[in-house]
Structure 1
Amino acid sequence: MTTTLITGANKGLGKETARRLIAAGHTVYLGARDEARGRAAARELGGRFVRIDVTDQASVDAAARQIEADGGLDVLVNNAGIEGRLPDNGIVGAADTTADTLREVFETNVFGVVRVTHAFLPLLQRSTAPVVVNVSSGLASLALLSDPGSHTHFYPGVAYPASKTVVNAVTIQLAKAFPAMRVNAVEPGFTSTDLNGRTGTQTVEEGAEIIVRMAQVAPDGPTGTFTSGHGRLPW
């Protein structure tokens, strides 16, 4: 039985990924900061709830202890993330971006990924088929972001693309450091979720496809890649 933890799993892409992996036979821990929402999602899907706030070390350590006591972990999906939108659903542009703007987004999107992955590395290393999936974004591709012909070129924000580009770098370095693991970054596409104020153009079912696929990658499958549902993406 494959045991999987998904952060930010009480809604959106995380919840849909949990639903699909449970249907595929995984034992899934739905990680969430909000206990009531997390438990409700776990009950609905037939998964297990674990409280985890990726920005809080004590919370992450407690989640790791709980999952270790229950038997261990095979797959980690680092899904929790924020875009840092303004109250009016606008995006902070380059001229208004400050160090504090980046710090807020990086705390969840970068430090959260590193914090959770580090805490669960000992459990993953005991698995016979360990997998890490880092949910990235097409905006993380510097090649595409700088290409006027790319659909990502229009995006005016700094913090979110920068955070996901760092996630991609972390993915590469983890994959090199742990060759027995499959560590990959995925681009789910512009999906309609709370993260982007429901402005996305595709459904969570469509967006979760690549996350689910890479969460089930075989031990001899790809590692250190950046992939969308349409194939490999340039870094």
Structure 2
Amino acid sequence: MTAPLRLVVFDCDGTLIDSQHMIVAAMAHVFAAHGLAALPRADVLSIVGLSLDEALAALLPDTEPGIRRRITQSYKDAFFEIRHRADLAEPLFPGVREALAALHARPGTVLGIATGKSQRGLAHALETHGLRDYFVTLQTADDAPSKPHPEMLRRAMRAVGAAAADTALVGDTSYDIEMARAAGAHAFGVDWGYHAPETLRSSGAHFVLSDFAALAPALDALWTGEPRQAVREATVHGRREP
């Protein structure tokens, strides 16, 4: 019998790339330009993962839709205007490149991305870090409803022909976890992103990783049908020291 195709889909901001400084700076720039009071950093980071429209609706619930649309466009423009500032670098999180390379080399395993970024923003990020060739499917907020709606993940599964049981989503926010659960996929949280581990667990994460080195053994344990405790041990194998 042919082995099933395995699909591992990653969120981008907060999971692969530490983009917090850029996001906070762009949001502060736009709010100031529109005469709005700056928001606390934690509030801005809490909406990372949503599409930009949904994020601004959450941050500015009492603002007229027309004004929000103008702010949305201003944010897109600002993000690309200031992306070359040295103090706003968007580095990869530790272990990202090694983990992607190892999974990409596995027969029968393919990788994808599901992100609240636009196609333009995602293309720039992947090109900057030389990651584009690792992924066979790229799903963005341009193509489907915002997370936590499951359509982005469903589109990724359809694109490669993977079943939900053979799909894992790796993300750092409750929106990622809720999307994965709604699509019937396995939900892996990471504890280095923008939502707290307890938030990921309460949202339904099957496991929360503390190091990218733990991802491959956790997937192995999951898909070979090993007991839940074996998967749990795999997820903490590479835990970083505080």
Q: What TM-score results when the alignment is normalised by the length of structure 2?
A: 0.46
Structure possessing the higher radius of gyration over alpha carbons = 2
Higher relative contact order (CA 8 A, sep 6+): 2
Q: What TM-score results when the alignment is normalised by the length of structure 1?
A: 0.47
Compare the two structures and name the one with the higher helix fraction: 2
